[in-house]
Amino acid sequence: MTTNNKELVVEKIDNGTVIDHIPADKVFKIVRILGLEAYEDEILIGTNLCSKKYGKKGILKIKNKYFSQDEIDKIAIICPTATIIIIKNYEVEQKKHLEIPKHIHKIVKCINPNCITNVEEIETNFDVVNNDPIQIQCHYCEKTMEEIIFNE
Ligand SMILES: [Zn+2]
């Protein structure tokens, strides 16, 4: 937690996850891909907060929630600049700077309707061929795509 009182202080959570340094225009996308619209515990959403380093940024604080590696990879694909902070008893237990994974397994759909992964029950596999902008290539049909569609 920041102690610099020039920065906006959003209420602390006792246990859960803070996703910080989200580009302001990605905050609601993150809410959506993590399925947080249906989450029943407290979520604090801050967006368009001024950050010297990042311009306008967003922050999410999700009480009593810890994310799986697949979920963290989804966050990394959408906003690799984000930081994940695990909070336990008001203390920072872990702080992770995200990186776009080199391989993406299962969580993304292939956009090629004829790809075998869309015809049969086969888990998808992609190589990340470019990071910025992100571009991925399907292992099966070799289609490259810049539009990332997550599996539900
Ligand atoms: Zn494919």
Express each pLDDT in 80-135 by its tens digit: 999 999 999 999 999 999 999 999 999 999 999 999 999 999 999 999 999 989 99
| Fold entry, domain 103-150 | SH3 type barrels. (2.30.30)
Q: Phi and psi of 119, rounded to 5°?
A: -105, -40
Q: Which of 67, 100, 69, 102 is nearest to 85 (CA)?
A: 67
Enter the CATH code of domain 16-97.
Answer: 3.30.70.140
pLDDT of residue 7 exceeding 80, the answer is no
13: exposed, middle or buried (Cβ count in 10 Å: 0-12, 13-18, 19+):
buried
How far is the centre of ligand 1, averaged over its atoms, from the C-alpha of 118 (Å)? 8
Express each pLDDT in 20-32 by its tens digit: 999 999 999 999 9
User: Are the folds of 16-97 and 103-150 the same?
Assistant: no
- Near ion ligand 1, which residues have CB within 5 Å? 110, 112, 115, 138, 140-141
Question: What residue ranges do the domains of the chain occupy?
Answer: 16-97, 103-150
Return the structure tokens found at 125.
């596999």
